C-alpha cells in the first residue's frame, strides 16, 4: 500500500462505496511568540474551510503529550490518543487519509502514529490542502465513534540511547535545516549542532516546489547516496519528532523502512551530558 494519495485519487475514493475517514491536522511550527505575534491557529484555519467530512485533529494536544523531559512533542498517552481517534471516527477496518496545510509535517506525524499503533490503512494527501481541487466546507461533521484501539508497535521507535547507537551502527538522518544541523543557528533549543554520527538530510529536499513528494525513484536515489543502502538500519530525528515523521514518510515512499526518534533534538539537547557535534561533518 502506498503511503501517500493524490488529490484525484482521494476524490475518487470519497465518491466510492468505502470512503476513508478524513483527518485535518493543520499545524505550523511557530516562532511568532518571540515577536509578539499570535501562534498559528490550525483550528481556526479548519473552521474557515476544510474538506467535506474532515475532522480536525490537534497535533499539540492529541498527537503529542505536554512538552517536558521527553522533548517538545513526546509520544501521547496511548489511551488518550485512541480516544481522540475514535472521536474522529477512526476504525481499524476503514481507511484513513490525513492532510494538513501543505507542508506535510503534521499529516506525517498523524500517519506515523496511526501506523505505529497498528492501523493498517493510512495515507497522507500528497501536497496537502493546496492540492485539493474540490469544494471546501465550513460544516463541522459529527462522525459515528470509531473502534480503533492503538497498540504500541514492536519497532520503529527510537529513544536517545538507541538513536546514538544507530548513528554508529547504521544511518541516522537529521531532518532539520542544514544550518541547524551544523550548529550555525538554533532558534528554539538550548544548544545547536547534531547527534554525533548523524547525517544531514533536510526534509525540505524530499519535495518539489509544489509540496508534493519527489518520485519514489528519486527519493530512493537520494537516500541511498546518503547511506541508506539495502541492509542498513535507518532512523530519523528532527527538532521534536514532527518533520522527522515527514522524512520517515518520504523513506516509506522510497521503499525504505525507518524508525523515528520522537524526542529528537529537543530531548537530546536538553541533557548537558549528551555529546553534541557541530559543523558539516557527522562526527
pLDDT in tens, 15-34: 999 999 999 999 987 655 45
Virtual torsion, Cα 65, 69, 71, 74, nearest 10 deg: -30
Measured CA to CA in angstroms, residue 160 lies from 53, 54, 65, 106 at distances of 39, 35, 17, 22
Residue 1 above 80 pLDDT?
A: no
Q: How far apart are CA 246 and CA 213, in angstroms?
A: 10
pLDDT at residue 283, rounded to an integer: 87
pLDDT at residue 29, rounded to an integer: 77
pLDDT digits (tens, 9 = 90+) for 200-256: 999 999 999 999 999 999 999 999 999 999 999 999 999 999 999 999 999 999 999
Virtual torsion, Cα 153, 159, 165, 170, nearest 10 deg: 50
Query: How many helices (H) and strands (E) are present in the chain, helices listed first?
Result: 10, 10
Whole-model pTM? 0.96
pLDDT at residue 37, rounded to an integer: 63
Catalytic residue among 7, 96, 201, 238: 238
pLDDT at residue 30, rounded to an integer: 62
Tell me the three state secondary structure of residue 272.
coil
The closest alpha carbon to 126, from 195, 190, 210, 243, belongs to 210
What does pLDDT average to over the chain? 95
Is-catalytic flag, 238?
Answer: yes
Q: How far apart are CA 63 and CA 228, in angstroms?
A: 28
Q: What is the mean pLDDT of residues 92-106?
A: 96
C-alpha cell at 191: 544548544
Q: How far apart are CA 194 and CA 197, in angstroms?
A: 8
Q: What is the mean pLDDT of residues 175-195?
A: 95
Measured CA to CA in angstroms, residue 79 lies from 23, 30, 97, 213, 247 at distances of 19, 28, 21, 32, 26
pLDDT digits (tens, 9 = 90+) for 23-76: 999 998 765 545 566 778 999 999 999 999 999 999 999 999 999 999 999 999
pLDDT at residue 31, rounded to an integer: 55
Q: Which residues contact 146 (CB under 8 A, 6 or more apart)?
A: 21, 85, 86, 87, 88, 89, 90, 91, 94
Find residue 21's DSSP bridge partners: 96
Amino acid at each position: 500500500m502506498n503511503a501517500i494519495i493524490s488529490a484525484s485519487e482521494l476524490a475518487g475514493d470519497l465518491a466510492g462505496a468505502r470512503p476513508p475517514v478524513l483527518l485535518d491536522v493543520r499545524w505550523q511550527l511557530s516562532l511568532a511568540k518571540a515577536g509578539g505575534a499570535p501562534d498559528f491557529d490550525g483550528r481556526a484555519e479548519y473552521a474557515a474551510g476544510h474538506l467535506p467530512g474532515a475532522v480536525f485533529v490537534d497535533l499539540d494536544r492529541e498527537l503529542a503529550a505536554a512538552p517536558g523531559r521527553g522533548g517538545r512533542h513526546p509520544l501521547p498517552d496511548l489511551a488518550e490518543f485512541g480516544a481522540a481517534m475514535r472521536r474522529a471516527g477512526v476504525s481499524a477496518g476503514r481507511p484513513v487519509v490525513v492532510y494538513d496545510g501543505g507542508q506535510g509535517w503534521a499529516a506525517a506525524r498523524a500517519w506515523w502514529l496511526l501506523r505505529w499503533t497498528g492501523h493498517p490503512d493510512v495515507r497522507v494527501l500528497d501536497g496537502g490542502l493546496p492540492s485539493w481541487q474540490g469544494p471546501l466546507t465550513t460544516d463541522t461533521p459529527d462522525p459515528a465513534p470509531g473502534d480503533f484501539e492503538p497498540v504500541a508497535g514492536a519497532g520503529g521507535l527510537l529513544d536517545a540511547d538507541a538513536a546514538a547507537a544507530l548513528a554508529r551502527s547504521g544511518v541516522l538522518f537529521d531532518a532539520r535545516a542544514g544550518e541547524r544541523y551544523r550548529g550555525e543557528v538554533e532558534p528554539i533549543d538550548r544548544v545547536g549542532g547534531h547527534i554525533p554520527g548523524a547525517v544531514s538530510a533536510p526534509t525540505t529536499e524530499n519535495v518539489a516546489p509544489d509540496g508534493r513528494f519527489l518520485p519514489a525513484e528519486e527519493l530512493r536515489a537520494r537516500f541511498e547516496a546518503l547511506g541508506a543502502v539495502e541492509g542498513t538500519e535507518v532512523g530519523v530525528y528532527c527538532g521534536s519528532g514532527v518533520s522527522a515523521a515527514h522524512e520517515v514518510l518520504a523513506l516509506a515512499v522510497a521503499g525504505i523502512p525507518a524508525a523515528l526518534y520522537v524526542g529528537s533534538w529537543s530531548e537530546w539537547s536538553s541533557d548537558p551530558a549528551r555529546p553534541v557535534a557541530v559543523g558539516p561533518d557527522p562526527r
